[in-house]
Amino acid sequence: MKFKSIPGAKDILPAESHRWQHVEQTFRELSHRYNFREIRTPVFEQTELFARGIGELTDIVGKEMYTFRDRSDNSLTLKPEMTAAVVRAYLQHNLEQQQPVTKMYYLAPMFRQERPQKGRLRQFHQFGLEIIGSPHPEADAEIIVMTAEYYSLLGITNVELKINSVGCQECRPAYKDKLKEFLSPHLTELSQDSQRRFDANPLRILDSKDERDSRLTADAPLQKDHLCTECSDHFSRLQEILTETRVLYTVDGRIVRGLDYYTKTAFEFISSALGSQDALSGGGRYDLLAKELGGSNVPAVGVAGGIERLLLVLDAENLFTGNEVAPVVYLAAADNESRTWLYGVTQMLRKSGIPSDTDLMNRSLKAQMREASRQNVRFTIIAGSDERNRNEVVLKDMESGDQSPVAVDKIVDIINQKQSEN
C-alpha cells in the first residue's frame, strides 16, 4: 500500500470508536449537568494568536506548532490547544455581554509536532472546560471538581491531583529573582534546556525531567512559599473548597505547566498507569490572557485532558468502556424474491427503532445464518416464498433457540416484548 497515515496521527477504526463515543458522551452529559455549553472553533487560527497566547518561549510555540502559509501568504497554525482560541472567540463575539460568567466545554483534535511515543501524538484529542469572567477560587474549584468527577464516573481510580500556585504579576518577579539567585551557582551544571530557560522562564526548570536538574533544584525556593496576600488567600480558599467537596489533592510546588499564560492556580491530574507521559489533564487560571490577546482584563480558569491518555488508563485498569454498535435482528432470505420483500421488513424494523441488518452480498441462506451468529444478534428473521405469501416471517430467538411464525405487523411488538422481559 502506497499511503500510510502520518506517524503520530492515528486512525480510530470502527471496532474502537464506541470507546471514544463512551468517554465523549460521558463528558458531554456531565458538562451539561454542570451547566457548561459547547464551543467549537476552527481547526486553524492566525499563528500570532498562539505565539502570543501560549508564549514565544514555550516548547509548543518554539518547536511544535504546525505552521504554514496559505496561498495569500497568511501564516496559519493548526491549533495546538484550545484556550487561546476560546478566548479569541469570547472577545470577538463579546460573549461577556450575554452573561457575566461564561462556562464552555469542548472536545476537539489538537496538533503538536512532538516525537511520537506512548501517550504522545501529533494529532491528539482533548476534552476541556473554560470558565471566563470569574476571578474567584470557586471557579477554579468548579473546574477541578468536575474533572475529578469525570474520572470517577469512568471508574478510574489510578489518578492523583496535584495543585500549586504560580503567583501573579505582583509576587512572581521577586520570586523569579530568588529562584535565579539560587540557581546561578549551578548554572553550568544544568541541562542544556534548563540553561536556555534560565533567563526568560526559570520556573520551568523546576519541572525538568532531567535527573541532574531535579537533584540540583531539590532545595530550590518554590513560588507557593512566596505568594502575595491575594494569591495566598486564593490558594487557601481553593483548598478549603476541595476539602469540603472531598476531592483529594496534594500541593506540589513543582507543577509549573508548559504554557506561559498561567497565574495563581496551576494543577495536573497524573496517572502512574501512563509511564513517562503521565499527565492525564492539566490546567489553571489565566487572568492575563485576554489582555495579552488585545481584550480587556477578564479573569478565567480552565482544564484540558488528553482522550488518548484517558483510553490508555481505562485499558490499563481493564475498565468497561461502552457498548459496541450491534444489530438486535439479522434478516435472512431463503431466495432472491424474498430478499427484496425482506428488505422492506428490515426498513420497517429500523424505522420502529430496532437496530437491524440484512445480507448485502446475495449469500446463501446457510451463509446468512452464519453471519447472524457472527454478529451475535438476539433474533434472526427468516423468510422464503411460503412466509412471504402469508405475509409472515419465522422469528428465531437466538438465546433460547425457539422459533415460530409471526405475522409481519406483529414483529415489532413481539421483539420489544421479548427484549423487555430480560
Of 299 and 305, which CB lies nearer to ligand HAM in the complex structure? 305
Cell of residue 9, nine digits: 496521527
Of 55 and 202, which CB lies nearer to ligand HAM in the complex structure? 55
What number of residues does the chain have?
Answer: 422
**How near is the Cβ of 293 to ligand HAM at its closest, in Å?**
14
C-beta separation of 393 from 408 below 8 A = yes
**How near is the Cβ of 109 to ligand HAM at its closest, in Å?**
11
Of 302 and 327, which CB lies nearer to ligand HAM in the complex structure? 302
Distance of CA 420 to the CA centre of its chain: 35
**How near is the Cβ of 365 to ligand HAM at its closest, in Å?**
48
CA–CA gap between residue 262 and residue 193 (Å, rounded):
21
CA–CA gap between residue 151 and residue 13 (Å, rounded):
24
**How near is the Cβ of 160 to ligand HAM at its closest, in Å?**
13
Of 312 and 411, which CB lies nearer to ligand HAM in the complex structure? 312
| Amino acid at the residue 289 | L
Binding site for ligand HAM (CB under 6 A): 81-83, 112, 114, 119-121, 124, 126, 128, 130, 258-259, 279-284, 286, 302-306, 308-309
CA–CA gap between residue 134 and residue 249 (Å, rounded):
23
Neighbours of 80 (CB within 10 A): 24
| CA torsion angle 412 414 418 420 (round to 10) | 60
CA–CA gap between residue 157 and residue 269 (Å, rounded):
12
Of 81 and 287, which CB lies nearer to ligand HAM in the complex structure? 81
Of 253 and 302, which CB lies nearer to ligand HAM in the complex structure? 302
Distance of CA 193 to the CA centre of its chain: 29
Q: Is the Cα dihedral 358, 364, 366, 371 positive or negative? A: negative
Of 51 and 334, which CB lies nearer to ligand HAM in the complex structure? 51
Residue 298 phi, psi (nearest 5):
-125, 115
Of 121 and 331, which CB lies nearer to ligand HAM in the complex structure? 121
Of 121 and 314, which CB lies nearer to ligand HAM in the complex structure? 121
Scanning the structure block, which residue is given the C-alpha cell 462556562?
103
Scanning the structure block, which residue is given the C-alpha cell 489553571?
284
Q: Is 378 helix (H, G, I), strand (E, B) or coil?
A: coil
**How near is the Cβ of 208 to ligand HAM at its closest, in Å?**
16
Element (DSSP H or E) covering residue 85: helix 83-92
For residue 295, the 8-state DSSP code is: S
**How near is the Cβ of 83 to ligand HAM at its closest, in Å?**
4
**How near is the Cβ of 296 to ligand HAM at its closest, in Å?**
19
Of 65 and 303, which CB lies nearer to ligand HAM in the complex structure? 303
**How near is the Cβ of 176 to ligand HAM at its closest, in Å?**
21
**How near is the Cβ of 252 to ligand HAM at its closest, in Å?**
15
CA–CA gap between residue 139 and residue 133 (Å, rounded):
9
- 160-161-167 Cα angle (round to 5): 150
C-beta separation of 391 from 408 below 8 A = yes
Scanning the structure block, which residue is given the C-alpha cell 470508536?
17
CA–CA gap between residue 168 and residue 162 (Å, rounded):
19
Q: Is 335 helix (H, G, I), strand (E, B) or coil?
A: coil
**How near is the Cβ of 310 to ligand HAM at its closest, in Å?**
8
**How near is the Cβ of 171 to ligand HAM at its closest, in Å?**
20
Of 45 and 308, which CB lies nearer to ligand HAM in the complex structure? 308
